[in-house]
Structure 1
Amino acid sequence: MSDDQRGAGEGPEGIREGVEGSEGDPRVVLLLNAVLSGLFAWTAFWGLQLLDVAEVTATNVASLALVIFALTYVVVLR
Structure 2
Amino acid sequence: MTTDSDSDGLTDGLESSKGDPRVLAALNAVLSVLFAWWIVWGLAILGTIQYSRPTVLAVAVGLFVLTHFITKK
TM-score range, shorter chain: 0.7 to 0.9
Aligned residues: 70
Structure 2 residue aligned with 1:18: 13
Gaps of 5+ in 2: none
Q: Does 1:76 align with 2:71?
A: yes
| 2:50 counterpart letter in structure 1 | E
CA RMSD in angstroms, aligned pairs only: 1.9
Normalising by structure 1, what TM-score?
Answer: 0.77
Larger relative contact order (CA 8 Å, sep ≥ 6): 2
Q: What is the aligned-residue identity percentage?
A: 41
Gaps of 5+ in 1: 4-10
Normalising by structure 2, what TM-score?
Answer: 0.82
Question: After TM superposition, which residue ranges in structure 1, 4 or more long, deviate above 4 angstroms?
Answer: none
Larger Rg: 1
